[in-house]
């Protein structure tokens, strides 16, 4: 894909995403009904759940592109993995800050050592390690491979996260949308707001992803250009 095309995509996705976030906030503040037991703080849910979704999506992309990079050794896959991991780190930080804000009121404590909380925090640290290894590797190519290895291993944790939720009944709210047996248990207007939140956050993520990918593309071109310069003169 050409650089101009990537930029164009990033812009379109970004504009749509920001518009989506504005609509989302209007809905959250003025339109959607207030949940009966938790009251007004439940509205954090519309930011928390989409950021959690994007975090998992990003880490999935990092792992898949990392695995594919190890196999095919195409630089573009490494750019994609790295771009997604950075997005995941940022949205993971949103998830990990919005969650305790909500829990401080709803559960009466900002943090509990509930399995899903614990493992998402740990997954976030795995990706901190991802960037530390990249940055400190003595050999750049080895750094890319080792980061990919960490990405793949980190994603192996995601099934464990899910299993731990299913096996340990706990404080964390049970799934209300992807509930296989009863279908969505959310009220109509809440479901619509959540869906718009998911859409908006996903669009913003892919916009940032494209920008970041484009940056790596430019660095690559620059590296080639500076390498070829001596030959040209």
Partner 1 sequence: MTVYLRQVAAIVRKDLLLEVRTGERLAAMGALTVLVAVLFHFAIDQGLVRMQVLAAGLIWMTILFGGMLGMGRTFEMEREQGAIQGLLTSPVPLDGIYLAKVVSNFVLVTLIEVVALAAYWLFFGFNYGNDLLLLAGVLGVATLGFVAVTTLFAAISAQTNMGQTLLPILIFPLLVPVVIFGVTATGRIFASRPVQEVEGSLYLLAAFTVVALTAGTILFRYVVEE
Binding footprint of partner 1 on the chain (CB under 8 A) = 70, 118-119, 122-123, 125-126, 128-129, 132-133, 136-139, 142-143, 145-146, 148-150, 152-153, 156-157, 160
Q: How far is the CB of 107 from partner 1 (least distance, A)?
A: 21
What single-letter DSSP state applies at residue 39? B
Least distance (Å) between residue 4 CB and partner 1: 34
Cα atoms in the 13 Å half-sphere on the side-chain side of 215? 10
CB of 126 to partner 1, least distance (A): 5
Provide the minimum distance between the beta carbon of 125 and partner 1 in the complex, in angstroms, as a whole number. 4
163-172's contacts with Cβ under 8 Å and 24+ in sequence apart are: 164/115, 164/116, 164/119, 165/115, 165/116, 168/114, 168/115, 170/114, 170/115, 170/116, 171/107, 171/112, 171/114, 172/114, 172/115, 172/116, 172/117
Of 23 and 152, nearer to partner 1 (C-beta) is 152
Which CB sits closer to partner 1, 48 or 144? 144
Closest approach, Cβ 178 to partner 1, in A, equals 24
d(CA 53, CA 2): 29
User: What's the closest the beta carbon of residue 66 comes to partner 1, in angstroms?
Assistant: 10
- Distance between alpha carbon 152 and the CA centroid of its chain, in Å? 15
In the bound state with partner 1, the residue whose beta carbon lies nearer, of 157 and 191, is 157
Helix (H) or strand (E) holding 194: helix 188-232
Q: Which is nearer to partner 1, 64 or 153 (CB)?
A: 153
Residue 70, both tokens: 């190890």
Q: Residue 90 or 158: which CB sits closer to partner 1?
A: 158
Closer by beta carbon to partner 1, 49 or else 52? 52
CB of 115 within 8 A of CB of 168? Answer: yes
């Amino acid at each position: 894909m050409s650089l101009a095309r990537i930029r164009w995509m990033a812009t379109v996705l970004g504009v749509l995403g920001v518009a989506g976030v504005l609509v989302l906030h209007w809905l959250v503040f003025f339109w959607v009904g207030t949940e009966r037991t938790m009251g007004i703080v439940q509205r954090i849910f519309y930011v928390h759940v989409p950021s959690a979704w994007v975090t998992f999506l990003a880490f999935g992309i990092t792992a898949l592109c990392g695995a594919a990079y190890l196999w095919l050794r195409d630089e573009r896959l490494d750019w994609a993995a790295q771009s997604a991991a950075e997005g995941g780190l940022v949205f993971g930080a949103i998830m990990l800050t919005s969650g305790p804000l909500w829990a401080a009121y709803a559960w009466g404590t900002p943090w509990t050592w509930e399995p899903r909380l614990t493992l998402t925090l740990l997954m976030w640290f795995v990706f901190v390690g991802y960037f530390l290894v990249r940055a400190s590797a003595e050999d750049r190519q080895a750094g890319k491979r080792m980061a990919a290895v960490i990405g793949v291993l980190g994603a192996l944790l995601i099934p464990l996260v899910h299993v731990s939720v299913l096996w340990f009944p706990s404080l964390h709210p049970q799934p209300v949308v992807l509930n296989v047996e009863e279908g969505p248990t959310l009220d109509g207007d809440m479901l619509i707001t959540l869906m718009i939140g998911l859409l908006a956050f996903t669009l913003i993520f892919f916009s940032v992803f494209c920008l970041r990918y484009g940056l790596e593309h430019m660095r690559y071109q620059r590296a080639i250009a500076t390498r070829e310069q001596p030959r040209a003169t």
